[in-house]
Amino acid sequence: MKTRSKLLGLAIIIILSMLIIGFFQVSHSGTTNKKQQRLQKTSVKNQSNALPKHTKLSDWQLLLVNKQQPRTSEISFNKVTVDDKQIDQRIARPLANFRAGAKNAGYDTTLVSAYRSIAYQAEVYNTSLKQNEANGMNKESAKKLTESVIQTPGSSEHQTGLAVDLAGNDALAKYPNLVAQMDTFASQQWLIKHASDYGFVLRYLADSKSIAQTGIDYESWHFRYVGVINAKYMVQHHLTLEAYRDELKKAAQK
Ligand SMILES: [Zn+2]
């Protein structure tokens, strides 16, 4: 009788533990399946995330100027003056909203630079070149040093009137010459994080793939207006303007 009840007890324990293990396995695989389903859903979502419907390569917001595509003549557009600097009139409202948003979040900003004509860019470029030569450099090294910090005339995006150098006041106070580390300030981080809400993107990203595409090192202060829909798409997919235009080009060829 004793042995039987012992055996019965043992059997109950075994059955119970099997049930418990079984339960955990089921519930665990349940969560795994749910996780997988969620992952599948997001990847499906990403795949079906098509390019913005009404965007065209020829849209004024997507005008591309870079080292590979420099311009020899000035671009004509309506200019307005903001803080003694000129911008394309079409981005005046978005820029004002962008800066008002920053101010609401507690960050005052300075518009450091905006539209620059090719002629002005040439002046800045030549002054730097002459300065380097006056410092004893030969022509080649003087040119190299100048071009490491200043765009050759015609290749700067500032001539579009759609690009601005925008800095949090505290970041600018510490780094008046605009350096990448400005992004250690919460003000600059706010600008970078929220730019797309106002139609801007941080134009020159920090990863090597982006730098290879833009030909320009990371700039935590240079924002470019592309319109809200384009900006959101570019940020979501981590695309430079060069890469985004390539995608649009490919889609148009299909
Ligand atoms: Zn700039």
What H or E segment, with its residue span, contains residue 100?
helix 92-104
Cα(141) to ligand 1 centroid in Å equals 24
Contacts of 110 (CB under 8 A, 6+ apart): 83, 166, 167, 169, 172
Cα(241) to ligand 1 centroid in Å equals 15
Q: Which two tokens stand for residue 196?
A: 């797309």
Cα(247) to ligand 1 centroid in Å equals 24
What's the pLDDT score for residue 14? 56
Cα(46) to ligand 1 centroid in Å equals 32
Below-70 pLDDT ranges, the chain: 1-48
What's the pLDDT score for residue 20? 52
Contacts of 212 (CB under 8 A, 6+ apart): none
What's the pLDDT score for residue 15? 56
Instruction: Kindly report the number of other CB atoms within 10 A of residue 128's CB atom.
Output: 17
pLDDT digits (tens, 9 = 90+) for 89-148: 999 999 999 999 999 999 999 999 999 999 999 999 999 999 999 999 999 999 998 887
Q: Within 13 Å of residue 224, how many CA atoms lie on the same side as its CB?
A: 26
Beta bridge partners of 88: 79
Cα(165) to ligand 1 centroid in Å equals 5
Strand locations in the chain (E): 79-82, 85-88, 109-113, 163-168, 200-202, 222-225
Cα(158) to ligand 1 centroid in Å equals 6
How many angstroms separate the CA atoms of 161 and 50, rounded? 29
CB 146 within 8 A of CB 132: yes
Cα(222) to ligand 1 centroid in Å equals 4
Kindly list the distances between the CA atom of residue 194 and the CA atoms of 71, 92, 167, 229, 238, in Å, as whole numbers in the listed order: 30, 17, 13, 14, 15
What's the pLDDT score for residue 42? 45
CB 114 within 8 A of CB 164: yes
